[in-house]
């Protein structure tokens, strides 16, 4: 069960153990540290620098202002940053066209606690309750078993006909396995 409340910087989604909230100016250091961890970033080609983290954080904040959805900052109920989770509009020119996708990334110390599933489930419930998408996609690399397990626990359905490849500086590119979930008619 989740509850949406407000704060001085926007809505907050509370779950049993977590709080999902919009980003604030002071979040860049923990956000950049998350993206500097080589193990956390292994599935996306390795760590990124602070400038790339700043650009990503700006995209997340802009998506919230523009679309009312974003990758939310995720923290424990006592305020410890554990990562992010949420829904974003697709990037322009994405191989799948315009869509919304759900994603998450957690600090290594938060792995194995069920936080990704808990936060992503709250973000999905929120986007289907407050926004217009009838479908949300998720994608991951073939060897990212942790994310695939989260997708299964969330009730997403594997859709191999929608798999795609993005250039990533290698000869083969990054191969995304696609999963989807649709709004239930009783969700609004």
The CATH code of the domain that includes 69 is 3.40.630.30
pLDDT for the residue numbered 36: 84
Question: What residues are paired with 83 via a beta bridge?
Answer: 74, 106
Chain length of the chain: 188
In whole angstroms, what separates CA 166 from the centre of its chain?
Answer: 18
Spell out, as residue ranges, where the chain has pLDDT lower than 50. Answer: 1-8, 188
pLDDT for the residue numbered 185: 57
pLDDT for the residue numbered 35: 87
Burial class of residue 84, CB neighbours in 10 A (0-12, 13-18, 19+): buried
pLDDT for the residue numbered 2: 46
Smallest CA-to-CA distance from 142 within 112, 165, 113 is with: 165
Supply the range of the domain harboring residue 65: 3-187
pLDDT for the residue numbered 145: 92
pLDDT for the residue numbered 104: 95
Token pair of 10 as six digits: 């926007």
- Pick left, alpha or beta for residue 83 (phi over 0 → left; psi -120 to 50 → alpha; otherwise beta): left
Total domains, the chain? 1
């Amino acid at each position: 069960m989740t509850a949406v409340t407000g704060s001085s910087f926007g809505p907050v989604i509370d779950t049993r153990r977590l709080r999902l909230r919009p980003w604030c100016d002071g979040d860049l250091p923990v956000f950049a540290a998350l993206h500097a961890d080589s193990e956390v970033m292994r599935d996306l080609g390795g760590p990124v620098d602070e400038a790339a983290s700043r650009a990503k954080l700006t995209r997340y904040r802009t998506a919230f202002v523009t679309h009312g959805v974003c990758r939310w900052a995720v923290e424990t109920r006592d305020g410890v940053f554990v990562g992010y989770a949420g829904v974003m509009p697709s990037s322009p020119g994405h191989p799948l066209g315009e869509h919304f996708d759900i994603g998450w990334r957690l600090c290594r110390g938060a792995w194995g606690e069920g936080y990704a599933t808990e936060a992503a489930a709250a973000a999905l419930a929120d986007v289907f309750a407050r926004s217009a998408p009838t479908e949300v996609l998720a994608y991951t690399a073939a060897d990212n078993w942790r994310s695939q397990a989260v997708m299964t626990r969330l009730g997403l359905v594997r859709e191999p006909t929608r798999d795609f490849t993005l250039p990533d500086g290698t000869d083969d590119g990054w191969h995304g396995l696609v999963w989807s979930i649709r709004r239930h008619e009783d969700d609004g």
